């Protein structure tokens, strides 16, 4: 590894194997269970594709997630510590999972075994490809010569600028996760209500609007970017995630490129099962560096 330290993130960052390799970032797998069948998810592949996972959800199968086991953290961390490499881990939001605390506990134990090594776990307060965006930019900073201390300071200062704005297509998954009531889900589905949610400053999901129909929901996402996108070099890149709806994601990408000339690069990525379990098929999110994390329009 270059510069004596490595960058790690986890499966919620929605990085493809190709992008993770390009960025030289190791991705820690996360556990889920689909109708009693356990999985350790790191990347989609030929044996477990995007359509495989979301097809199972559409068929009525139930999926649930849990935190990363500390033994998995130990395996991934020690792979680098044994080589004399320090670790900077950009972790899934503590507002949505206890994995951050599990990673911190593991690092604390490993410090006794590797007192000469530096290990830092950063609570990204981000989810989905918002964590992917933060990780992508962190890699660019590292390649430009940022030290581990400088990158840690940057990430802690920049994480609140990562805006997550998304629409949910099927309300039943939010109901299962306790985000909305059963009555709201039934009525909303009948009326074609599409909730718009964000990840708030505490790193938790928060509904901010309800719109009728897909078209208006997509317009909301586009307007959130137009209204809040920052005008700096880092903001030239954004991510769009989709729950097995590549066509709609690409349509949003084209709209953003047409309406926001400041944007130079857009990554379109499928949502991992870790995120997809809670939002279901058809979810679209857009992740960018913005002025208002609540994505007011």
pLDDT tens-digit readout, 27-39: 999 999 999 999 9
Where in the chain is CATH 3.30.1180.10?
161-289
Of the candidates 219, 224, 218, 169, which has an alpha carbon nearest to the alpha carbon of residue 194? Answer: 169
Helix (H, G, I), strand (E, B) or coil at 20: helix
Q: Tell me the CATH number for domain 161-289.
A: 3.30.1180.10
The encoded tokens of residue 234 equal 């880092």
Average pLDDT of the chain is: 92
Q: Which residues contact 264 (CB under 8 A, 6 or more apart)?
A: 236, 237
Residues 6+ apart with CB under 8 A from 265: 236, 237, 238
Is residue 171 pLDDT above 80, yes or no? no
- Domain 2-159: give its CATH code: 3.40.50.10170
Helix/strand/coil for 149: helix
Give tens-digit pLDDT for 35-68: 999 999 999 999 999 999 999 999 989 999 999 9
Which of helix, strand or coil describes residue 88?
strand
Over residues 193-225, the pLDDT tens digits come to 788 999 999 999 888 998 988 899 999 999 999
Distance CA 233, CA 179 (A): 35
In the structure, what pLDDT confidence band is assigned to residue 189 with cuts at 50, 70 and 90?
A: very low
pLDDT at 188 over 70: no
The residue whose two tokens read 């506990």 is: 105
Angle at 66 between CA 286 and CA 152, to 5 degrees: 55
Portions of the chain given CATH number 3.40.50.10170: 2-159
3-class state of residue 279 by DSSP: helix
């Amino acid at each position: 590894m270059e510069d004596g330290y490595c960058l790690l993130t986890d499966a919620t960052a929605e990085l493809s194997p190709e992008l993770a390799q390009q960025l030289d970032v190791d991705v820690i797998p996360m556990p889920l269970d689909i109708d009693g069948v356990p999985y350790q998810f790191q990347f989609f592949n030929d044996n477990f594709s995007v359509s495989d996972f979301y097809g199972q959800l559409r068929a009525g199968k139930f999926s649930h997630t849990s935190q990363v086991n500390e033994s998995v953290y130990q395996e991934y961390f020690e792979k680098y510590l044994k080589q004399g490499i320090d670790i900077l881990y950009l972790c899934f939001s503590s507002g949505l999972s206890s994995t951050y605390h599990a990673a911190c506990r593991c690092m604390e134990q490993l410090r006794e075994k590797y007192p000469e090594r530096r290990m830092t776990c950063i609570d990204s307060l981000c989810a989905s490809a918002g964590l992917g965006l933060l990780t992508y930019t962190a890699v660019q900073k590292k390649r430009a010569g940022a030290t581990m201390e400088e990158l840690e300071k940057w990430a802690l200062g920049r994480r609140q600028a990562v805006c997550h704005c998304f629409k949910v297509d099927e309300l039943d998954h939010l109901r299962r996760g306790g985000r909305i009531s059963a009555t709201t889900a039934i009525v909303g589905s009948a009326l074609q209500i599409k909730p718009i949610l964000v990840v708030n400053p505490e790193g938790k999901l928060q509904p901010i609007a309800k719109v009728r129909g897909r078209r208006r929901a997509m317009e909301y996402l586009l307007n959130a970017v137009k209204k809040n996108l920052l005008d700096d070099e880092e903001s030239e890149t954004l991510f769009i995630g989709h729950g097995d709806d590549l066509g709609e994601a690409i349509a949003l990408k084209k709209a953003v490129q047409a309406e926001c000339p400041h944007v130079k690069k857009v990554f379109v990525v499928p949502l991992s099962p870790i995120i997809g379990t809670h939002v279901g098929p058809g979810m679209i999110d857009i992740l960018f560096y913005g002025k208002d994390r609540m994505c007011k329009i």
